[in-house]
Chain A
Amino acid sequence: MRFSTLVRHIREGTKNVFRNGWMSFASMGSIIVSLFILGVFMILALNVDKLASQIENQVEIRVYLQLGTEQAKIDDINRQIGRIPEVKKVTFVSKEEGLQRLKENLDPDAQSALDGYENENNPLPDAFDVEVFDPQKVADVAKQIQAINASDADQPILGVKYGQGTVEKLFKITNAVRNVGLIVVAGLAVMAMFLISTTVKMTILARRREIAIMKLVGATNSFIRWPFFVEGVLIGVFGAAVTSAILLYGYSWLIRTTQYDLGLMLIKFASMQDVGGFIAGTLLVLGALLGIWGSTVSVRKYLKV
């Protein structure tokens, strides 16, 4: 193909968007409606995912040591835990700190109940707080920490706690929520295809004459396809751009107007930075693909003459 022919196809495809005014408008409308619904659910899914991660990240492992474990051994265990690949951070919590934290969690009136347990009377064991990279792996990491005992006759680890049972249940729920989100988004994508294919069917009828005439003057199939392809991409990308703009503007408004109310409830929306690029990028690619798909389907049917 000559370069000037390519320019011609792009020019012609662009002109066709305007020439077929209401049909372009209808196609763009169905792309905007589909992508809008899809985008709303994607933002919802992103937020649910963020919320789930927030909850998951609060999951921590607490490792209790035998009373009277020597400092050298404590350091050694600290190092051994730190060497497990999934472990992000190990923090030593001395029994004094443990008591302090316990106190802070009580009502001020009740705090006096713990008076008299300081220093040599402190019944708490020394402990480690262990953070892991992937909260879903806590059970596994806990087992590995417990296993340190096996290579030590003193059995220095008294116990490993991570909210056994509760954590597993939490993950079941967060994973289920994510999967449902994914299924809903996939379902909406299919629905969008149906909506657009209906529009395409309407436009095909109007375009078959045009294709027949192009064939009559000796246009090759690829010559006929190109402007339709350009037209499809333009309609899809423009529709996606409009949708992204509406969605992201609406979302930033939502964040702004609700930040004080929800801030008190410790819930935070996924930030604009988290959502913006992802939504706009995904919608633009989807829009272009839907446009190409629509135009390809509409032409293919009438090329076999």
Chain B
Amino acid sequence: MIEMHDIWKTYPDGTVALQSVNVVIDRNEFVYIVGPSGAGKSTFMKLIYREEVPSKGQLSVNGFNIGKLKQRKIPYVRRNIGVVFQDYRLLPKLTAYENVSFAMEVIEASKRQIRRRTMEVLDLVGLKHKAGSVPAQLSGGEQQRIAIARAIVNNPSVIVADEPTGNLDPETSWGIMKLLEEIHFRGTTIVMATHNKEIVNTLRKRVIAIERGTIVRDEPRGEYGYEI
């Protein structure tokens, strides 16, 4: 599903963010990406949803060769990948409902489908009753739930989450993790970068540790392995 062969990423200013990364993530896996700040975790994620292109190496996601992808095809690859960020990235002027439904308008779904599916995912994230609120009227945890609803509304095969609990208190973080577990359980691959030791050590999954741009550890049901 996600395959990296000898992936290198050098930013235009010369920073080498990833060096010779080799990894295979299968369908319906749940993977934590851990490592110190600046190790290259976000870069790893950005390559998957094609915000950045590898400088060298072979990368395929859902069977698409990301490195050689034509500009015109990028939107269609992204529709099969849901992305969640630490800072939610909701559109401040749209309601919770509109923030989710617009991801379906993008793929030109029918009005009835949009209505049904949007309410369905709002229900799944437990925020049906807040459909009419704009982000400023929602708590951080609620905004992140809306962002997750937006990420899953088109039934992507992969969710890429870059520190989704980074701005949330422990209790709210656990709520978000339960939600991601539920989505994983329904058959979606999840790749999640995190600094949250408690979560990684409690909700045991595969752990890939990156340091200075290289994978230094890759264990099924691994541990966080760093002090905070």
Contact = CB atoms under 8 A, between A and B. Distances in A.
B89 A19 contact: no
B32 interface: no
Contacts of B79: 217-218
B36 to A, nearest CB: 26
B111 A4 contact: yes
B110 A4 contact: yes
Contact of B78 (A8, A20, A209, A217): A217
A216 B49 contact: yes
A225 B150 CA distance: 21
A305 interface: yes
A2 B106 CA distance: 11
B110 A217 contact: no
Interface string A215-239: 1111111010000000000000000
Given A217-B103, A219-B75, A19 B110 contact: no
Chain A contact residues: helix, strand, loop or mixed: helix
A67 to B, nearest CB: 88
Contact of B106 (A209, A214, A305): A214
Nearest to A303: B71
A8 B91 contact: no
Interface in B65-111: 75-79, 83, 89-91, 93-94, 102-103, 105-108, 110-111
Given A214-B106, A305-B51, A220 B93 contact: no
Given A19-B93, A20-B93, A210-B91, A217 B108 contact: no
B105 A8 contact: yes
B91 A215 contact: no
A218 B105 contact: no
Contacts of A209: 89, 91
Contacts of B105: 5, 8
Nearest to A2: B108
A220 B108 CA distance: 11
Given A8-B105, A223-B106, A305-B51, A218 B76 contact: yes
Contacts of A4: 108, 110-111
Contacts of B75: 215, 218-221, 223
B78 A215 contact: yes
B91 A213 contact: yes
Contacts of A8: 105
A223 B72 CA distance: 12
Nearest to A21: B93
Nearest to A5: B108
B111 to A, nearest CB: 6
B78 A218 contact: yes
Nearest to B90: A213
Contacts of B154: 217-218
Interface string A1-26: 11011001000000000011000000
Nearest to A212: B89
B91 A217 contact: no
Interface string A256-268: 0000000000000
A295 to B, nearest CB: 17
B89 A213 contact: yes
Contacts of B107: 218
22 contacts: A4-B110, A5-B105, A19-B93, A20-B93, A209-B91, A212-B89, A213-B89, A213-B91, A214-B102, A215-B75, A216-B49, A216-B78, A216-B83, A216-B89, A218-B76, A218-B78, A218-B79, A218-B106, A218-B107, A219-B75, A219-B106, A221-B75
By Cβ-Cβ distance, the 5 closest A-B pairs, closest first, are A218-B79, A218-B78, A217-B103, A19-B93, A219-B106
Given A19-B93, A217-B154, 15 more contacts: A209-B89, A210-B91, A214-B106, A216-B49, A216-B51, A216-B78, A216-B83, A216-B89, A217-B79, A217-B150, A218-B78, A218-B79, A218-B103, A221-B75, A305-B51
Interface of A: 1-2, 4-5, 8, 19-20, 209-210, 212-221, 223, 305
Interface of B: 49, 51, 75-79, 83, 89-91, 93-94, 102-103, 105-108, 110-111, 150, 154
